[in-house]
A and B are shown apart, each in its own frame.
Chain A
Amino acid sequence: MQVLLSGLAIGAIYGLVAMGFAIAFYVTRVINFAEGQLLMVGVMVAAWFARTGLDPWIAIVLGILAAAAVGAVTYLVAVRPVLAFDRFSFAWLVSTLGVALILENGAALVWGPTSRSFPALLTGTSVHVGSATLTLQEVVTIGVAIAAAIGFELYRRRTLFGKLGMAIAHDPEMATALGANTVLVATAAFALAGAFAGLAGVLIGPITYSNPYLGDTYGIAGFVALMIGGTSRPAAAMAGGLLLGILGEAANKLIDTQASDWFPFVVVVVMLLVLPEGLLSLAAPFRRAVRRARAPAGATG
């Protein structure tokens, strides 16, 4: 039980980062490798404002906004020009990793390479769930992450803006021809992706403190979660994150305390070997069958 809940708490963080990856990906077909660094930006900026004496809650909001802003700038500076040159090139692999380097070392330059404190708001309170004990922070993390996943999925499916994202991913030229402002939508997607990472950052901040190298750890974990969930739907990435969190905690408990260093990779290798489209691709044939059963027999289209 403790393993399950602690796993969910850390998995929720991975899931938020993975959703950040997925949101940017589902509109632009680009994996923003600076996503982990956006989490770090959220943590660092929030911690910095808190240190200046600002109310910690406002500092946290500013941290999230900063991550969103940096996400939008990443798109405009490092992704947009690459796609404008050749929509199918993979050169963004390099340019987004360049952004990651700039952010990480830039943060180390500005705030120093060592860990600084982060306002602890909720870590002090414990919550008992059955035999397990969680901090209030962890409970809030799980709640916020699940709410964010559900909220985003509803938004994506039910609103015009969300559907526009899918249309742009499928064929940007056509979407532009239909009057969609692809640049605006893509920038918004990157900003939202940044906000998700920033949110993950301020949720994990009280545990990890603020450190310029946070981005590496959580970026890779989020990426692994994305692989587990598959890139097709952002909400699936959250499921991948939760699963990864639980598996990692279980491995620490059952194998040895360092197991969560390498265990996720074993999971990912197995995933890529068996189900390269992600775990939830298993559900696709099932869903198709349901759809066929629902459609009236002989229907075309």
Chain B
Amino acid sequence: MTAASRVPAAWRPAAFVAALAGYGVFAYWAAHSTLYIQGLVLVAAVFGMLAVSLDLVAGMTGLYSLGHAGLFALGAYATTILYNDHHWNLFLILPTCLLGVGAVGLVLGAISLRVSGLYFAITTFVFTLVVTVFASDSTFTGGYGGLIGPIFPEFPSSLSWAGQSVIWACLIALLITTLVVLAIRSSPLYPVLLAIRDAEPFAAAAGASTAAVRIGVFGLSAAIAGGAGWMFAFQGIVSPSQFSWQVSVNILVMVILGGINTTIGPILGAVFITVFPAQVNINPFWQEVLFGALFVGVIVIFPSGFVGLVRLIGRQIGRSLGLAGPAAPRVEEEQPGIVDAAAVSAVARAEERSAASGSNGSGPETPAIDCRDISFRYGSGPLVLNGVDFTVRRATIHGLIGPNGSGKSTLVDLISGRLRPVGGSIEIEGVAVDREGVTKRVGHGVARTFQSAVLVNELSARQNVQVGLYSRVPRLAARSLAWPALPSARRDGRRLRQTVDDSLAFVGAREWGRVRLADAPHGIAQLTQLAAACAWGPRTLILDEPLAGLAPSEVEHAASILAKLKSTGVSIVLIEHQPRFVFALCDEVTVLAAGEVVASGPAAAVREDEHVREVYLGQ
């Protein structure tokens, strides 16, 4: 979160107005200053927009785009050519640039995100190369010499006291860009984006179509770059050398120099990189060498940038003044079993809601999960699962046990849709889901957790649980662009916070809600994962070793939570390694060994099975 989160809530509107007023005064000063300063301000504002837009993709979704110079070039060339040759109105060109370059971004994103993050960087890099080569070698772009850009219309005489119009325009454009990105940052979409960046399976299991969200964010970022291109055209000349791949890298340097994923930092970086060479007049070769040394130095010595440095210093001053931060809460001392009644009822209510909306007339007799004759192999390897039948009845806890490598997690991945079986069929509540991906299966009320907690460590437990609620906030992605300003968002936000608190209370981790997961013990991460999975009221819960690494008292606590979930009608698949615990808690147990079902049935019967004792219990 930004520094704003540390300002008391009551001051925030006042601080916002004060910052806005200061910005207005600066704009007024800049609009009346010399042409030289105005040129600097225009370029710095344009690069500020670019840096903020790149930070949106690089910081929030972890995609290091080197295509921003190319997208920027498209905006600038389109503006110049549409104005010079086709005499379009400049203010009609702006939306054209935003939509057109945004669309190019969507296509580029869709193409380059098919493979890993590194290929994304490479593909976008090549995109920039292609755009500049094309611009240099075509005649309608003016070749290497470039084109002369349009002139921004002056203010009407009634507004002439305001000074140079183009300065106001570029500073307002930067302001709008920043506000949009800050709105996304304050919306519930932000934790989801970080989850897509750091813990993709988690985000997908929460119902986020991660690929679509990534492409969408890149499209938005591209649109902003197109807008920056429109603005840049008024600076005078538009030529290929202004959009070379080095410019892409420069923008990335601005982001990292200022502090990645801080939104304000990249603007500072942009200002520094634009103004520094203009103010320090030295031999151009020395200047470039110094720049290179700066790239290396910042990355190597201070990877979290200006803003990170300021925060570090701030924290140290705070510490030396004796203002210790809030002490970390101690582990819940509440007795397991005595859980806030309101929280239980909140979760139960969520159950009813999703039960009413989801099931397609399937009766309580239809199994929650029904797998028939499932086979699977990784690539061209041997069969990992061979003819597995696995049926989970409604409102039961079904244990899935077996030695390491017996195929438990693979089976769960097949049920949740992360993997596709080679043979066999899967039904969830009587609906065949063989053709559906992870996101669609979430729609059937299936939630899951992962073996080693897959969460966003830099976020708090509450924000992580919020990721689990992704599918419960309608049209979140679109509304996040103006989140703080929407009345409906305020209402949804309040409801969301309440649900998050309830489900954290339900698992008994409420005290840890505001602690960053990176600073929380392993048990809390496991509980947070569980809270995120049951927050939105799934009807079927798949838990992959939820007890791994928990202390004995915590295991009992978790067991009481599972029993309670079952009592509200949730069907649970439990993968576990601790036999004693499994047989006590589960209604039915299936034992896998080497990819085949060894035994399946009521827990007591399976426990007595000779074969099971042999392969699994080692007796």
Chain A interfacial positions (CB closer than 8 Å to B): 29, 31, 77-78, 81-82, 85-86, 89-95, 97-106, 108-109, 113, 220, 227, 258, 261-262, 265, 268-269, 272-273, 276-277, 288, 292, 299-301
Contacts and interface: CB of A to CB of B under 8 A. Distances in A.
Interface residues of B, number: 41
Contact of B137 (A82, A103, A261): A261
Given A98-B294, A227-B126, A269-B126, A90 B303 contact: no
Given A269-B130, A277-B115, A90 B285 contact: no
A90 B121 contact: yes
Task: Identify whether the interface residues of B are mostly helix, strand, loop, or mixed.
Answer: helix
B286 A109 contact: yes
A86 B252 CA distance: 17
A97 B256 CA distance: 14
Contacts of A262: 133-134, 137
A86 to B, nearest CB: 7
Given A82-B303, A99-B292, A272-B126, A258 B285 contact: no
B296 A98 contact: yes
B66 A101 contact: no
A300 B112 CA distance: 35
Contacts, number: 113
Nearest to A79: B300
B293 A86 contact: no
Nearest to A231: B118
Contacts of A78: 296, 299-300
Contact of B299 (A31, A91, A276, A292): A91
A100 B292 contact: yes
Which of B111, B294, B299, B303 has the largest count of A CB atoms less than 10 A from its CB? B299
Given A101-B295, A105-B289, A227-B122, A82 B249 contact: no
Contact of A91 (B133, B256, B294): B256
B288 to A, nearest CB: 4
A94 B300 contact: no
B139 interface: no
Contacts of B300: 77-78, 81-82, 95
Given A105-B289, A261-B133, A301-B382, A94 B299 contact: yes
27 contacts: A29-B118, A78-B296, A78-B299, A89-B303, A90-B117, A90-B118, A94-B299, A95-B295, A95-B299, A97-B292, A97-B295, A98-B253, A98-B294, A98-B295, A99-B292, A99-B296, A101-B288, A101-B289, A105-B286, A105-B289, A227-B122, A227-B126, A268-B126, A269-B126, A272-B112, A276-B115, A292-B380
Interface of B: 64, 66, 111-112, 114-115, 117-119, 121-123, 126, 129-130, 133-134, 136-137, 246, 249, 252-253, 256, 283, 285-286, 288-289, 291-296, 299-301, 303, 380, 382
Task: Identify whether the interface residues of A are mostly helix, strand, loop, or mixed.
Answer: helix
A206 to B, nearest CB: 26
Contacts of B137: 258, 261-262
Given A105-B288, A262-B134, A276-B119, A93 B249 contact: yes
B300 to A, nearest CB: 4
Which of B119, B123, B130, B300 has the largest count of A CB atoms less than 10 A from its CB? B300
